Amino acid sequence: MNNFWNRVIYKIWSPMYDRFFNSGVFLNARRQIFQQIPFNCDQVVLFVGVGTGADLELINTSDLNITAIDFSPDMLKRAKKKFNHSSIKFIEMDAQNMQFRNETFDIVVASLILSVVPDPDKCFAEMTRVLKKEGKIIIFDKFVYKEQKLSLLKKLLRPLIKVLGTDIGLNFEELFSQMNKALTVDEDKEIMLNGMYRKIVMSKRS
């Protein structure tokens, strides 16, 4: 995966994205993610890889200071159309190289982004950098479960599936090991497909 190829992939995906990832089991999973998140009007919130705005549809955005970024102009265009009368700031931006100051946001939401960016370590580090101390990172994504190793079939399929725009072999524990001095895990919950998709909530150490 690389940024140029991701633009191409999500240009193709954008017209049908909601049909697959904002309905059925994915919609139910997204609802679970936001059920217990205490958003309030004093918070500054960042949605990383907002896509078509599927997550934004599940929360009351009217009283929140929200910035939403995505690298795909086609996905972002669809999100803007859904919220064209809102105060949400939509910005085309690379999640691996965010143009925000350190410790800008109270909450960073990252749904289905770490498994699609070319460099998830860099993206995760950027999410941590822009998060305020004692702020929260909320992740919904697919990971290889805990210490589980990829089967031979998945190892063979992984390069092909990466070409289609996603990684089926990302290990959260390895990812987190690079940032565990800055973050603590508050919640790690299986959401769907026998734990392949997880909800992970982290706090930034003060």
Mean pLDDT is lowest, of 2-16, 49-63, 190-204, for 2-16
Residues 30/140, Cβ–Cβ less than 8 Å: yes
Position 12 confidence tier, pLDDT thresholds 50, 70, 90: confident
pLDDT tens profile 123-175: 999 999 999 999 999 999 999 876 677 766 666 666 666 666 677 688 999 99
The pLDDT of residue 1 is above 60: no
168 φ, ψ (degrees, to nearest 5)? -95, 5
Q: Give me the mean pLDDT over the 104-132 stretch.
A: 96
Q: What is the pTM for the complete model shown? A: 0.90
pLDDT tens profile 37-82: 878 888 999 999 999 999 999 998 988 999 999 999 999 999 999 9
Q: Which residues of 89-115 are buried (b: 16+ CB within 10 A; e: fewer)?
A: ebeebbbbebeeeeebbbbbbbbbbbb
Q: What is the DSSP string of 175-189?
A: HHHTTTTTEEEEEEE
pLDDT at 20: 81
Residues 107/130, Cβ–Cβ less than 8 Å: no
Domains defined for the chain, CATH in brackets: 3-204 (3.40.50.150)
pLDDT at 156: 62
**Distances in whole angstroms, Cα of residue 186 to Cα of each of 135, 136, 172, 202, 205:** 12, 9, 14, 5, 12
Q: Which helix (H) or strand (E) holds 25?
A: helix 24-34
Q: What is the three-class DSSP state of 138?
A: strand
pLDDT at 19: 84
pLDDT at 134: 95
Residues 171/3, Cβ–Cβ less than 8 Å: no
Strands 44-48 and 105-111: parallel
pLDDT at 89: 97
pLDDT tens profile 86-96: 999 999 999 99
Residue 8 is encoded by which pair of tokens?
């191409």
pLDDT at 50: 97
CA–CA separation, 157 vs 44, rounded Å?
A: 39
